[in-house]
A and B are shown apart, each in its own frame.
Chain A
Amino acid sequence: MNCSTRQSALANPFAVAHRVLERSHRPTQSGPGALSVIEAETGVRFEFDVPGFGSDDITIDVEDGLLVVTGLQKDRDDKGTEVYSERRVGEFRRVLRLDRKLDPSTIEADLKDGVLQISVSRRPEAERRSISIRRPVSDA
């Protein structure tokens, strides 16, 4: 496993740090599953290039703050004989660690024109609570 991207939360007060952990079946950069990470105050949006993939070909799982996106083109619609191809194998797997500031229960996914968009919202800011120390009860 190689941790490729390390983002500093200090650089941008609104930044939500996360790590792209694992990349497989991706010999070079722009194969299926190529990723853009777009951050806003409200949360993060991940955009994956998945040309030719239908929603049945993609699985999205979240567990313990890990977002796992897997794609497998079951029905590559290439009939006939291949004369020439630069198109890569129709599968990918991306694993991303979601920062704790993000709320996994807010994950939404959309697939349009070969682009998979996954958005995750930030948790609302935790309220500060002051805790007072109980005075011991003494019997005198």
Chain B
Amino acid sequence: MNLSQFENTFSLFNEFVNEVLPDTDRQWRPALSIHDEQDRFVIACELPGVNVDDLHLDVHDGVLEISGERTPPVTSDEVTVRANERASGKFRRRVRLDDAVNKEAIEADYRDGVLYVTAPRMEETMPRRIDVRTHSTG
């Protein structure tokens, strides 16, 4: 796990760190990443081969929870799994969202087996350029 300090002019005053919470009680721990795209955060979770009906996304008490289940390859008398490196079963990943995140406006897309959760920043925390007014004396 590496928690890299991101370069941002706000970082001196605020740590916009979304904290990834520990999860040890599930069979599969899908890989997660968090990116700061200036006006929003994108949390990407690798969930290949998951049925959208088995995928749940909740926000509660400031915690984003991605949970669900991936079914293992089907077996029968005629079909056997000869080797398997891919985890399956229940999964749950949780991220404690920072106060800068607008929790009401969270959206999610599932594309090519990756779940992208987009969480925009609260309006007042958006990067703003401040104009310097010049005055002429005389």
Residues on A lying within 8 angstroms of B by beta carbon are 5, 7, 12, 14-15, 20, 29-30, 34-41, 44, 47, 49-54, 78-88, 112-115
Check if B108 is an interface residue, CB within 8 A of chain A: no
Interface size on B, residues (CB 8 A): 43
Instruction: Offer 23 A-B interface pairs, CB within 8 angstroms, sorted by A.
Output: A7-B82, A36-B73, A37-B82, A38-B79, A49-B48, A51-B47, A51-B112, A78-B35, A81-B6, A81-B36, A82-B6, A82-B34, A83-B34, A84-B3, A84-B34, A85-B32, A87-B46, A88-B31, A113-B110, A113-B113, A114-B49, A114-B113, A114-B114
Check if B85 is an interface residue, CB within 8 A of chain A: yes
Q: Are A115 and B81 in contact (CB under 8 A)?
A: no
**Chain A residues near B66 (CB, 8 Å)?**
none
Given A15-B80, A82-B4, 13 other A-B contacts at CB below 8 A? A34-B85, A36-B81, A37-B82, A40-B78, A49-B48, A51-B112, A81-B6, A84-B4, A85-B34, A86-B31, A86-B33, A88-B31, A114-B49
Which of B3, B48, B83, B112 lies in contact with A37, CB distance below 8 A? B83
Which of A7, A78, A81 lies in contact with B8, CB distance below 8 A? A81
A-B pair count, CB < 8 Å, reads 142
Q: Are B7 and A81 in contact (CB under 8 A)?
A: yes
Which of B44, B73, B78, B82 lies in contact with A87, CB distance below 8 A? B44
Q: How far is the CB of A73 from chain B (nearest CB, A)?
A: 10
Q: Which residue of B lies closest to A55 (CB)?
A: B112
Q: Which residue of B lies closest to A15 (CB)?
A: B82
Q: A29–B81 Cα gap in the complex (Å)? A: 17
Check if B17 is an interface residue, CB within 8 A of chain A: yes
Which of B6, B44, B49, B78 lies in contact with A113, CB distance below 8 A? B49
